[in-house]
Amino acid sequence: MKVTEIWKTRDKPTISFELFPPRDEPAAEKLEKVIEELAVLRPDFVSVTFGAGGSTREGSYNLVKKLLREKGLETLAYFTCHGLGPEDITSVLDSYRDLGVENVLAARGDPPHQRPDFKPHPVSLPHASDLLAFIRPRYDFCLGAAGYPEGHIEATSKERDLEYLKLKVEKGADFIITNYFYDNRYFFDFLERCHRLDIQVPILPGVMPIYSVKMMENLAKLCGATITSEIRDGLAGLPEGDKEAITHFGIDFAISQCKGLLETGVPGLHIYTMDRAKSAVEIVNHLREAKLLG
C-alpha cells in the first residue's frame, strides 16, 4: 500500500522504522533479530537506506526483498542518485518495482566516503529534484523526499533550503520525511515555514533516540542537528560510562519528544533505529499504552 493511502486509512498516527543493510554476516545475524523484535510492533512501514554511490545496492535490494517477501512488512525503499547514470537508476528502480515496492524516498545522497576511486557517471543527476523529475513520469511509486528542519548542512540558508524542498514537491514528492532534531521547536518552525510556502504534502517527523554519546556527537556533526543544553546537562548528570543509563535517558527523552509531536497532530513518527530494537520497542510500547499510537 502507498504511504499516503496508509495515512488515509488510519485513525491513529503511524509508526515506522528505518533500517540499513548489514555490512557483514555478524551484522546480518544481529539485524535478523532486530527485525523480529520490530515486526512484533506491527509497524505501518519500514524504510531501507541506500548507500552513497550505490555502495549498498545489492544489500539494500536484499533487505527490501526480505522485509516485503519474508516478513510481510510494507517497505519504503530509499534511493540516492549521486554519481549514478540513467541506466543504473532505471535498473535499480525496475528491480524495486518488480519486487512489489510501492514507496520510494528519492534523495541526492553523498559521495561514498570509503571509495576514493569512485567516479560519478558523466550524466548523473545532480539533485534530488532531478531524480524526482526522472522517476515521476516513468513509475507509479508513491514518492517521498527528505526535509531538514534545521536546514541541510550544505544549505546557504533555511529559506533557500526550503525553496529546494518546494521544488522537490513540484517535481513529484508526495510526502516528506524529516531529518531528526532534538528540539521540537525546530520542527514546528519548519512546519510553519512550509505552510507559508504552500508545501501541502504530509510531513513525517524523524526521531533519533540517543544510543550513545559518541554516536550522538558524530551524527549531529554529520547531519547538522543541534544537541540542546537540556540533553548535555541530562547526560552530564549520569554516572560516567554507564551505557544502560544513557540508553534509558535517550528512551525517556525520545518518549517526551514524541508525545509533544503527537499532540500537534503529526501524521506519524519515523524512528531512526540504527539497526537496534530496544529503544524503539520501549518508545512505541509506552506511546501505545498512553493511547497515542494505534
String of DSSP letters for 236-293: HTSPTT-HHHHHHHHHHHHHHHHHHHHTTT-SEEEEE-TT--HHHHHHHHHHHHTTS-
Nearest Cα neighbor of 186 from 218, 228, 234 is 228
Euclidean distance between CA atoms 159 and 289, whole angstroms: 39
Q: List, as own/partner pairs, every contact residues 36-39 make where C-beta atoms lie below 8 angstroms and the sequence separation is at least 24, other chains included.
A: 37/277, 37/281, 38/273, 38/277, 38/280, 38/281, 39/71, 39/73
Q: Are 197 and 157 in contact (CB under 8 A)?
A: no
Euclidean distance between CA atoms 193 and 18, whole angstroms: 26
Q: C-alpha angle 96/97/101, rounded to 5°?
A: 70
Euclidean distance between CA atoms 170 and 129, whole angstroms: 8
Give the residue numbers marked as catalytic. Answer: 18
Euclidean distance between CA atoms 271 and 37, whole angstroms: 14
Euclidean distance between CA atoms 148 and 186, whole angstroms: 9
Q: Are 191 and 201 in contact (CB under 8 A)?
A: no
Euclidean distance between CA atoms 10 and 44, whole angstroms: 10
Phi–psi pair at 48, nearest 5 degrees: -130, 125
